[in-house]
Amino acid sequence: MNGQVESANRVLLRGLKRRLEKAKVTWAEEVPRIVWAYHTTPQSTTRETPFNLVYGSDAMIPVEIQVSSPRFQNFVAEESNEERKVNLELLDEVREETRIKAEAFKRRVEYKHDSKLKPRQFQVVDLVMRKAHPYQLENKLSPKWTGPFRVSEALGNGAYRLETLEGGTIPRTWNATNLKFYFS
């Protein structure tokens, strides 16, 4: 619905391609490592790891166990169980905070995108050029715009009906994003 699955799959495929270029092994052996790396890496928008959002604590990566990191050396099961219970109680708050961060990031991106848009409004009888369809492009040097056309009707919300200069109607409506002013 909101592209999260496609985004995650894109990250996983990118990681898989990179690992296969270096390792030259079967891809099925690399999938668990790539998924683990994805789940234990903080996401740029939320600054949280997917593992933490699901289980309420950070994962201990295999390197920490092999090298015997301070986190591994100072592990006490009773304290860990108590901290885990506290983390699980606070997990809903962490998830809500993460959702708010993601929404704020989404709004910042949307604002930045919208601030760069230049709305176009055309009046009836304005001369415009229409973006060419891909089937109209014979090669890469073909003109990207066709026309000129005359605006015959403004329908609102950036939709317009066009006609040829001789008065013939152009089928369907056209959005302002696919039109630009024609200057003779």
Taken in order of first residue, the domains within the chain and their CATH numbers are: 4-116 (no CATH), 127-181 (2.30.30.140)
Q: What is the pLDDT of residue 17?
A: 83
Q: What is the pLDDT of residue 1?
A: 52
Nearest to 19 by CA among 2, 7, 37: 37
Q: Give percent of the chain with pLDDT exceeding 70.
A: 97
Record the pTM.
Answer: 0.55
Per-residue confidence at 128, pLDDT binned at 50, 70, 90?
Answer: very high
CA distance 66 to 60: 11
Q: Give percent of the chain with pLDDT exceeding 90.
A: 14
Q: What is the pLDDT of residue 23?
A: 63
Beta-bridged to residue 159, according to DSSP, are: 156, 175
pLDDT tens per residue, range 48-78: 888 888 888 777 777 777 777 777 777 777 7
More confident residue, 69 or 37: 37
Beta-bridged to residue 129, according to DSSP, are: 180
